[in-house]
Amino acid sequence: MAEPQKRRGRDSAANILRSLKATMKNTQKLTDDQELYLQKVLTQLEEGGLPKQTAKNTLKALNGLKNELINPFKVLAVLQTHIPERLLESHYAEQNPAVFGKREVILSLYLAGGIITS
């Protein structure tokens, strides 16, 4: 099975990811919900789930923080302002339990004159 290729270069999502990982080191003051939100954003960025324009606008706003970038509350506010909540929700296909249900394989065999044919 082919593995998905990692992104190369310095796109907006990679820069946001770098900033977010630095912010995640200083999350003692954040609530569990805020940490969960940051984790969702981190996951979407790693998987490439955010649209390029959204990532670009978010990076521009994060760069505008300059020295305030070490404040996790400011970073969280920028992320919540620029990344719509619906982009972080899991997709229907990921939640469909019928896909993971019991599987059945039906084998049929026809016997004709002592010769097995399928």
> Is 43 within a domain?
yes
Per the structure, the count of domains in the chain is 1
> Is 96 within a domain?
yes
- Domain range for 78 is 12-117
Contact 23, 74 (CB under 8 A): no
> Is 65 within a domain?
yes
DSSP 98: G
> Is 2 within a domain?
no
Contact 19, 12 (CB under 8 A): no
> Is 3 within a domain?
no
Which H/E stretch holds residue 94? Answer: helix 92-95
Contact 86, 49 (CB under 8 A): no
> Is 75 within a domain?
yes
> Is 76 within a domain?
yes
Chain centre to alpha carbon of residue 75: 18
> Is 7 within a domain?
no
Q: What is the pTM of this model?
A: 0.67
> 12: helix, coil or strand?
helix
Give the mean model confidence (pLDDT) for residues 84-110: 67
Could you report the per-residue pLDDT of 13-66, keeping only the tens digit for each?
Answer: 999 999 888 888 887 888 889 989 999 999 999 888 889 999 999 999 999 988
CA distances in angstroms from 93 to 18, 62, 86, 100, listed in the order given: 29, 32, 15, 11
